C-alpha cells in the first residue's frame, strides 16, 4: 500500500490529505500493471522459444551463422549474412525514398492544401496502409518490376551507369524494386506521424515566423521542420520497423537470391522472406532450426536499430535542451 | 404450411439420420483441385462420410500426420528417412495421381515448340549454357533459328514439391548437378532469380524475354504457357500430357518398390515424360477402430476407376492400370484395430 501511495500518479488521484485508497483504485492499478507485465512476458516467451528452436543451429555454426552467406538446405550449411544485408539495405533504401516524400506530403496536407482537400487526401494516404501487402506484391510483380526493367533502370544507367551500385543486367526484380515497394508501404506511417507532430506546434509560432517577414517556405522550415526534428526522426524509426518486418510484398519482388551484390539492381533476399519461403516445407530439423535462428537474428537487428535510434534521439534532445 | 415446416425441420435433421463421420486430412497443395472434387463426389458414394481437406503444403501435411492431428496426410514427395523415424507406426504411402513439371520459356521469335534434353537443362541451371543459340540447343532444334539472347533462369523461391521433382530429375541426368547442388524442396541455386509459387515463376517468365523456368504442368496448361518437349531416357522428345505422365509411371513399374516411395523421374519407356512424379496420401499402417474402416474405404475408392477417370479433365495423370492392383493390395494390408 505504501509502495502504491509513493507513486505520484496514484497520489494525484487522491483527495487532498487522504492516505487510504479505495479498493476500486487498487484493482484498477493491479489490472493495468498485470496487463503491461503480460506484454513484456509474451515478448520474453517469444525470444525464449526462438532461442530454444535456434540452439541446434547456433551450436553447429556458432558466430559463423552471422558472418557467412552460404545457404544450402541440401548440405545443411547455413549462414544468414546475405539475409541480414538484404533486410537492412532494402529497408534503408525504402526509408531513403519514403522520408522526403512523407515529410513533403505531411507539410502539403497540413500547411499548404485547403482544409477539405487536406482531409480527403490525408484519408487516402492513410488508406494506403490498409492495403494488404500481397496486393502490393502482385502489383510489384506485374506493373512495377516491368517498369523498372524497361524504363527506370536503363534511364538511371544512362546517367549513372558508371557507379557500381547501378550496374548489372535488368531483371526488373531485385533490391531496388523491393526498396520502392517498401517506400510506398511505409509512407503512410511516416507521413501520418509527421502530421501529428506538426500539429503540436502552436499557431502563434507560425504566425510569429510570418510576422518576422518569412515566406511560407521559410515559415515551414524555421517554425515547423526545425522544431519537429526529433519527431520526424521518431516517425522514420517506426517506418523502418515496418520495413524490417515486411514479408510478402518484398518476397514477390526481390528476386530471392541469397547473395551480397554491390549492385542495387541485383536480386537479393531478406530475413523475413527466407522464413516465409522455406519454413512450411523445411524437411530437416537443422533447416528448421536455422530458420528459427534467422527469426532471432531479425529480432536482434530490429532491436539494435530501434535502440540505436532511441540513443540518437536522446542525444539530440539533450543537445537541443542545453542550447536552449 | 405444416408440410413446409416439416420439410424445414427435416432438412436440419437429415444429417443426423446417418451416423456422420468426418475425416480430416491435410497436406499438398498440388492435388488440391482434384482432391476437393473427389471428396465432394465421395459424399454421393457414402453420404455418411464427410472428408475435410486442408491444403497447407506437403511439409505441413507430414507434420500434421506425425502429430496425429489429422486422419491422413498428403505429400508430393515421399517422406524421407528422418521423417519416417519420427512416426510411431510405419506410414503407408498411397499414390493417388501423377503430376509433372514443365520447362516453360519466353522466346517470342520462336514459334515452333522447343526441344530440350536433361543434360542441357542441367547445364543451363548450372550456368554453363548462357545463350539461347548455344550449339547444343541449336543441334536439337533443327530448322529453328535460335536468337542470340541470354538465358534468364527462373526458379521457385519457396520450398516446394515442384522443386523437389525438378532437382531430383537433374540429379539423375547430370552427375555435376548431383554433386554440386543435389535434390531438395529448397536448394542452393548456382544461377538465376526466384519467384514465389508457380504464379511467381510464371510471372517472371511472362515478363522477361529469353527467360526459362520450371512450373507445374497443371498450372502451365491452365495458364496457356509455352513449354518445351523433353528428351526422355529412351531418346524420344515427349510433350507433357496426362498420357505421357501416366506412361512414365508405367515405365517405372518394373523397378517399383513395395512401399511406392520412389522417384519416377527419367523413367524407362518410349512415351514417358521424364519430369513426372506421384502425389501421395499418407496413413499410418495401423489405424484405430474409430474411423479406421472409413479411411480404408476412402483409399479404395480413390484408386477405383470411377475416381481415377476424374483426373484427366483436370490435367492430372491417372495411375497406370498395372500399378492400381499393387496399390489396392497395399491398401488392403492396412490394419484396423
Q: What is the pLDDT of residue B150?
A: 92
Inter-helix orientation angle A175-199/A229-245, to 10°: 140
Residue A100 has pLDDT above 90, yes or no: yes
Q: Could you write out the DSSP letters of every residue in A160-189? A: HTTSGGG-S---S-SHHHHHHHHHHHHHHH
Best CA proximity match to A83, nearest among A97, A65, A57: A65
Q: Which residues of A touch B185 (CB under 8 A)?
A: 73, 281-283
pLDDT at res. A16 = 57
For testing contact with chain B, the best of A78, A283, A287, A289 (most B CBs within 10 A): A283
* Residue in A149, A251, A283 closest to B80 by CB: A283
- The residue written with cell numbers 498420357 in the block is B243
- Distance (Å, whole) CA B155 – CA B162: 10
The partner residue sitting opposite A281, judged by closest CB among B57, B183, B207, is B57
B164: which 3 cell numbers? 523437389
In B118-196, which residue ranges form alpha helices assigned H by DSSP?
118-126, 135-140, 161-173, 175-180
Q: Which of A56, A133, A280 to mutate to test the interface with B (most CBs of B within 10 A)?
A: A280
Alpha-carbon distance of B209 to B221, in angstroms, equals 20
Chain A: closest CA distance from residue B305 (Å):
32
Of A74, A282, A284, the CB nearest to B181: A74
Q: Is B95 helix (H, G, I), strand (E, B) or coil?
A: strand
pLDDT confidence of residue B16: 45
Instruction: Indicate if the pLDDT at residue A21 is higher than 80.
Output: no
Q: Is A80 touching B (CB cutoff 8 A)?
A: no
Directed axis angle between helix A175-199 and helix A81-107, to 10°?
40
Check CB contact of A278 with chain B, cutoff 8 Å. yes
What are the phi and psi torsion angles at B336 (to 5°)?
Answer: -120, 120
pLDDT at residue B143 in the model: 87
Residues A197-216 have a mean pLDDT of 90
Residue B19 three-state SS: coil
A173 touches chain B (CB under 8 A): yes
- Give pLDDT, residue B29: 87
d(CA B122, CA A45): 46
What's the pLDDT score for residue B2? Answer: 52
Answer for the pair B248, B269: CB distance below 8 angstroms, yes or no: yes
Q: Which residues of B touch A (CB under 8 A)?
A: 56-60, 80, 82-83, 150, 152, 157-161, 181-189, 192-196, 200, 203-204, 207-208
Give me the mean pLDDT over the A148-164 stretch.
Answer: 87
Q: Which residues contact B28 (CB under 8 A, 6 or more apart)?
A: B55, B57, B58, B61, B74, B75, B76, B161, B279
pLDDT averaged over chain A? Answer: 88
3-state secondary structure of B240: coil
ipTM of the predicted structure? 0.78
Interchain pair B207, A146: CB under 8 A = yes
Contacting residues for B27 by C-beta, under 8 A, at least 6 apart: B54, B55, B56, B57, B58, B60, B61, B62, B64, B65, B73, B74, B75, B282
Contacts of residue B32, defined as CB under 8 A and 6 or more positions apart, other chains included, come to: B53, B55
In this complex, do A257 and B194 lie within 8 Å of one another by their Cβ atoms?
A: yes
Question: Which pLDDT value is given to residue B280?
Answer: 94
- Please say if the pLDDT value at position B18 is more than 70: no
Give the residue with greater pLDDT, B21 vs A290: A290
> Which pLDDT score is estimated for A322?
63
Q: Could you tell me which of A251, A233, A46, A43 has the C-alpha nearest to residue A133?
A: A251
Q: Name every chain A residue with its beta carbon within 8 A of the beta carbon of B125.
A: none
Top residue of B192, B207, B210 to mutate, by most chain A CBs within 10 Å, is B207
Give the residue from A302, A299, A296 showing the smallest Cα distance to A54.
Answer: A296
Smallest Cβ–Cβ distance between A74 and the set B57, B184, B192 belongs to: B184
Say which range, A15-29, B105-119, B160-174, has the weakest mean pLDDT: A15-29
Q: Is the pLDDT of residue A321 over 80?
A: no
Query: What pLDDT, on the 0 to 100 scale, is given for residue A323?
Result: 56
As a whole number, the mean pLDDT across chain B is 89
Confidence of residue A222 (pLDDT cuts 50, 70, 90): confident
Please state whether the predicted TM-score (pTM) of the whole model is above 0.90.
no
* pLDDT for res B14: 47
**Strand order in B72-75's β-sheet?**
B49-54, B21-27, B72-75, B276-284, B91-105, B211-216, B152-156, B193-195
Provide φ and ψ at B74, rounded to 5°.
-145, 140
Nearest neighbour of B188 by CB, restricted to A74, A141, A174: A74
Mean local confidence (pLDDT), B242-249: 93
- The dihedral through the CA atoms of A86, A89, A91, A94 has a sign that is negative
Amino acid at each position: 500500500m505504501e509502495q502504491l501511495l509513493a507513486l505520484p500518479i496514484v497520489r494525484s488521484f487522491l483527495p487532498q490529505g487522504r492516505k487510504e485508497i479505495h479498493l476500486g483504485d487498487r484493482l484498477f492499478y493491479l489490472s493495468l500493471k498485470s496487463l503491461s507485465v503480460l506484454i513484456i512476458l509474451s515478448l520474453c516467451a517469444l525470444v525464449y522459444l526462438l532461442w530454444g528452436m535456434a540452439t541446434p543451429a547456433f551450436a553447429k555454426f556458432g558466430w559463423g551463422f552471422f558472418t557467412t552467406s552460404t545457404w544450402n538446405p541440401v548440405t545443411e550449411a547455413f549462414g544468414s549474412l546475405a539475409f541480414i544485408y538484404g533486410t537492412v539495405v532494402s529497408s534503408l533504401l525504402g526509408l531513403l525514398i519514403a522520408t522526403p516524400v512523407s515529410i513533403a506530403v505531411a507539410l502539403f496536407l497540413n500547411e499548404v492544401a485547403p482544409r477539405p482537400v487536406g482531409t480527403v487526401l490525408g484519408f487516402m494516404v492513410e488508406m494506403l496502409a490498409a492495403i494488404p501487402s500481397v496486393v502490393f506484391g502482385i502489383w510489384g510483380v506485374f506493373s512495377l518490376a516491368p517498369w523498372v526493367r524497361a524504363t527506370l533502370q536503363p534511364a538511371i544507367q544512362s546517367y549513372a551507369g558508371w557507379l557500381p551500385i547501378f550496374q548489372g543486367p535488368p531483371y526488373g526484380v531485385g533490391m531496388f524494386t523491393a526498396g520502392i515497394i517498401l517506400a510506398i508501404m511505409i509512407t503512410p506511417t511516416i507521413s501520418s506521424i509527421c502530421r501529428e507532430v506538426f500539429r503540436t506546434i502552436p499557431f502563434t509560432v507560425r504566425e510569429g515566423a510570418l510576422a518576422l517577414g518569412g515566406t511560407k517556405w521559410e515559415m515551414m522550415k524555421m517554425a515547423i521542420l526545425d522544431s519537429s526534428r526529433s519527431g520526424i526522426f521518431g516517425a522514420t524509426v517506426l517506418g523502418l520497423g515496418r520495413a524490417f518486418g515486411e514479408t510478402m510484398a518484398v518476397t514477390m519482388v526481390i528476386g530471392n537470391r541469397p547473395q551480397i551484390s554491390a549492385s542495387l539492381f541485383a536480386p537479393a533476399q531478406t530475413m523475413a522472406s527466407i522464413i516465409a519461403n522455406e519454413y512450411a516445407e523445411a524437411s530437416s530439423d537443422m533447416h528448421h532450426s536455422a530458420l528459427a535462428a534467422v527469426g532471432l537474428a531479425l529480432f536482434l537487428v530490429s532491436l539494435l536499430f530501434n535502440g540505436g535510434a532511441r540513443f540518437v534521439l536522446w542525444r539530440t534532445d539533450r543537445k537541443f535542451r542545453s542550447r536552449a | 404450411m405444416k408440410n413446409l415446416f416439416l420439410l424445414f425441420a427435416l432438412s436440419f435433421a437429415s444429417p443426423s439420420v446417418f451416423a456422420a463421420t468426418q475425416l480430416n486430412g491435410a497436406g499438398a497443395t498440388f492435388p488440391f483441385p482434384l482432391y476437393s472434387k473427389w471428396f465432394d463426389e465421395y459424399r454421393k458414394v457414402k453420404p455418411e462420410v464427410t472428408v475435410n481437406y486442408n491444403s497447407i503444403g506437403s511439409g505441413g501435411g507430414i507434420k500434421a500426420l506425425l502429430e496425429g492431428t489429422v486422419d491422413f496426410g498428403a505429400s508430393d514427395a515421399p517422406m524421407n528417412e528422418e521423417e519416417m523415424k519420427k512416426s510411431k507406426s510405419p506410414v503407408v504411402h498411397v499414390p493417388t495421381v501423377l503430376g509433372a513439371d514443365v520447362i516453360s520459356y519466353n522466346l517470342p521469335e520462336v514459334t515452333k515448340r522447343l526441344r530440350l534434353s536433361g543434360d542441357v537443362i542441367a547445364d543451363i541451371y548450372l550456368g554453363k549454357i548462357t545463350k539461347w543459340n548455344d550449339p547444343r540447343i541449336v543441334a536439337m532444334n533443327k530448322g529453328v533459328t535460335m536468337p542470340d539472347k541470354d538465358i534468364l533462369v527462373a526458379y521457385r523461391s519457396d520450398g516446394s514439391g515442384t522443386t523437389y521433382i525438378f532437382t531430383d530429375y537433374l540429379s539423375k541426368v547430370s552427375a555435376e548437378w548431383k554433386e554440386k547442388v543435389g535434390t531438395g524442396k529448397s536448394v542452393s541455386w548456382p544461377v538465376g532469380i526466384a519467384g514465389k509459387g508457380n504464379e511467381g515463376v510464371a510471372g517472371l517468365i511472362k515478363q522477361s524475354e529469353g527467360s526459362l523456368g520450371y512450373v507445374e504442368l497443371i498450372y502451365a496448361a491452365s495458364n496457356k504457357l509455352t513449354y518445351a518437349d523433353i528428351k526422355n531416357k529412351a531418346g524420344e522428345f515427349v510433350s507433357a500430357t496426362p498420357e505421357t505422365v501416366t506412361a512414365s509411371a508405367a515405365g517405372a513399374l518394373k523397378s517399383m518398390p513395395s512401399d511406392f516411395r520412389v522417384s519416377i523421374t527419367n523413367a524407362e519407356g518410349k512415351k514417358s515424360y521424364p519430369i513426372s512424379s506421384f502425389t501421395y496420401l499418407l496413413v499410418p499402417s495401423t489405424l484405430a477402430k474409430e474411423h479406421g474402416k472409413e479411411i480404408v474405404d476412402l483409399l479404395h475408392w480413390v484408386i477405383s476407376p470411377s475416381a481415377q477417370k476424374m483426373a484427366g479433365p483436370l490435367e492430372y495423370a491417372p495411375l497406370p492400370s498395372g500399378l492400381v492392383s499393387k496399390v489396392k493390395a497395399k491398401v488392403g494390408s492396412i490394419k484396423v484395430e
